A and B are shown apart, each in its own frame.
Chain A
Amino acid sequence: MPDRTYLRVRADMPPGHVRTPAYLRGKTGWIERELGEFPNPEERAYGHPGQNSPLLRVRFTMGELWGAGAENPDDTLDAEIYGHWLQAAEPPHAP
């Protein structure tokens, strides 16, 4: 647990092609694994080659995502998020 690196997904809602699901924005999770660099789809969608951006698998608890509405707060959701969508964060306080 102590060696987890927590990150928060930016809460922005920019227009255009974005591959960060809205339900994860503003949520905090920890790095499950790093995947290397991939061209940014937000640029590729509009015909640009896309600058490389680090891609990370971030793990969230269902409690973090859905609060009291979670079926089981300890179940998890993993998603691939590009580095420019992530910012350092403190662990979410225990429910």
Chain B
Amino acid sequence: MPHDHLSPSGHPYRKDDDHPLTYWQQMEIAVRELLVEKGVTTPADIAAEIDAMDSRSPANGAAVVARAWTDPTFRKALLKDASAATRAMGFDIGALHLIAVENTADIHNIIVCTLCSCYPRNLLGLPPDWYKSRAYRSRTVREPRKILAEFGVTLPQTTTIRVHDSTADMRYVVIPARPAGTDDWSEQQLANLVTRDSMIGTGLPKTPGA
């Protein structure tokens, strides 16, 4: 019956997905449909949450970093209580417990969640896929310098690396070191130098002219 495998247009039929739904994908659909049927939530509520999540991006974190670079009072407040400081700046980070860790001339911070993929989504948006990979999660706590080198960041042995394993209720953002040659730059210009990876610790900010 070869014709069964042709689409109406005569092309070979190919399903939308290459694989059947996984157990957990089916579970998500089932639970979502039940919650809607029982009136616990609505499709509009779910769509609104997805929109809110999609509207968050690393640009939010970059604005926070740029302010920390230019406003010593804010920097101090951010390092003391990053949740309060980012809320005061106007970001709706929900119930997020945020800790900011600062890179200096002697210290480089890098964030990982070995147990799952905890990430400050309410500030930075969705994590990159590699952040959720078993390779990144298992290797970063064991060989952070090798991981950093693979991301193109080679640090001298005199720089202390601090790995932060996001194991429980806190989420982390790295405040990278301000690039040299930016003394007279505005907060907005500085924010453009701050990359997502520099706030995870797997990268450094862009440098002027780069």
* Bound CA span A67–B164, Å: 19
Number of interface residues of B (CB under 8 A): 21
Does the CB pair A78–B114 fall under 8 Å? no
Looking across the interface, which residue of chain B has its beta carbon closest to that of A21?
B114
Q: Which of B16-24, B48-56, B141-149 contacts A (4 or more CB under 8 A)?
A: B141-149
Q: Mark B61-85, 1 if CB is under 8 A from A, else 0.
A: 0000000000000000000000000
Q: Which of B143, B161, B168 is the one whose CB lies under 8 Å from A19?
A: B168
> Whole-angstrom distance between the alpha carbons of A19 and B167 in the complex?
6
Query: Is there contact, CB below 8 Å, between B162 and A76?
Result: yes
Range for the number of chain A residues in contact with chain B: 20 to 34
Interface contacts (Cβ under 8 Å), in number, total 64
B interface footprint on A39-80 (CB within 8 Å = 1, 0 otherwise): 001000000000000010100000001100101101111111
Is B160 in contact with A74, judged by CB distance below 8 angstroms?
A: yes
The reply on B183 being an interface residue by CB < 8 A is: no
Q: Is the CB of B163 within 8 A of A77?
A: yes
What residues make up the interface of A, taking CB atoms closer than 8 Å to B? 19-21, 23, 35, 38, 41, 55, 57, 65-66, 69, 71-72, 74-82
Tell me the B residues contacting A by CB distance below 8 Å. 97, 114-115, 141-146, 157, 160-170
